[in-house]
Chain A
Amino acid sequence: MRQFSLTSEPLDEQMVTRAVSTPGAGGVVTFVGRVRDNARGHTVEALEYEAYPEMAEAVFTQIAAEAQSRFAIKEVAIHHRSGRLLVGEPSVVIAVSAAHRGAAFEACEYVIDQLKARAPIWKKEFGPDGAVWVEERP
C-alpha cells in the first residue's frame, strides 16, 4: 500500500501497521485517532473532514521526511480520512517502525503533532446543538 494518503475509504489500522513492518523493525508504534462523542461540552454525532488533497499529501510526505531525519526510525505511514465519519471511526492512522521502541514512540508523537498543526485538513462537528467548523487546537 502507499505510505501516505488522504482517502474517502475507511482506514484499515492493521494494514497501515503492516505497511511499515520491515524485518529489521523491532518496534512498531501505531497511533489511531478516532471520532469522539463530545467536544467542548457538546455532544458530537459525526465529523465531516474536508482537505486540500494535493497539498495534504505533500505535507504528509514532508513531515515523514522530517521524522526520518530527527529520529532513528525506519518507515513512516500516514493515512487520513476525508468525508463524513461517525463516532468511533478512525480519522487518522499513523504507523512508525524502528529498530527499537523509543525512537518509534517519539517519532509517532512528532508526526501527529505536526499533522495537526500543518496539514490542510478541516473538520465540521455535527450534533444535536448544530454544526460548527472546528477552529481551535485541542
Chain B
Amino acid sequence: MRVTVRFFASHREATGLSTYVADVPDGSSAAEVLRSLYRPFPKLESASGSVAFAVNRSQVNPATLLRDGDELALLPPMAGG
C-alpha cells in the first residue's frame, strides 16, 4: 500500500523533503512506516527521537495501523506559541 508521509521542521531538514510517498506492506503501523524510512533517509533516525504521529490530521499512537492512501505526518516535539 501507499502512504503519503509529511515531514516538518527538523525532520524536513533531515530528509530534504516535505512529502514522500512510501510503499509499505499492507497493515503497517505508523511506527513501522517510520522505521522503513530510515533506509532511504538515514539522518531521520537520529532526528526522530521523540516523534509523535498523526494520521489524516488527527494524532494517533505509534501502533495505529494505516490504510492505503492515508496521510501520515511525523510530528517533532511541538513548539507553538
Q: Is B62 an interface residue (CB 8 A)?
A: no
* Sample (28) of A-B pairs whose CB atoms are under 8 Å apart: A49-B80, A51-B80, A52-B8, A52-B57, A55-B58, A58-B57, A58-B58, A80-B81, A92-B80, A115-B81, A116-B78, A117-B78, A118-B59, A120-B54, A120-B78, A120-B80, A121-B78, A121-B79, A121-B80, A122-B8, A122-B76, A122-B80, A133-B10, A133-B76, A133-B79, A134-B79, A135-B77, A136-B77
Looking at the complex, which one of B10, B12, B73, B80 makes contact with A119 (CB distance below 8 Å)?
A: B80
Dominant SS among interface residues on chain A: mixed
Q: Is A91 an interface residue (CB 8 A)?
A: yes
When the two chains form their complex, are residues B79 and A52 in contact, meaning their CB atoms are under 8 A apart? Answer: no
Q: How many A-B residue pairs have CB under 8 A?
A: 71
When the two chains form their complex, are residues A52 and B54 in contact, meaning their CB atoms are under 8 A apart? Answer: yes
Q: Is B37 an interface residue (CB 8 A)?
A: no
Taking A80-B80, A120-B54 as given, write out 17 further A-B residue pairs in contact, using a Cβ cutoff of 8 Å, ordered by the A residue number: A50-B8, A50-B9, A52-B6, A54-B57, A55-B57, A91-B81, A120-B75, A120-B78, A120-B80, A121-B79, A122-B8, A122-B76, A122-B78, A124-B9, A133-B9, A133-B79, A135-B79
Please give the residue numbers on chain B whose beta carbons come within 8 Å of chain A beta carbons, in ascending order: 6, 8-10, 12, 50, 54, 57-59, 73, 75-81
A-B interface, 5 closest residue pairs, ranked by CB to CB distance from nearest: A121-B80, A122-B9, A55-B57, A134-B79, A135-B77
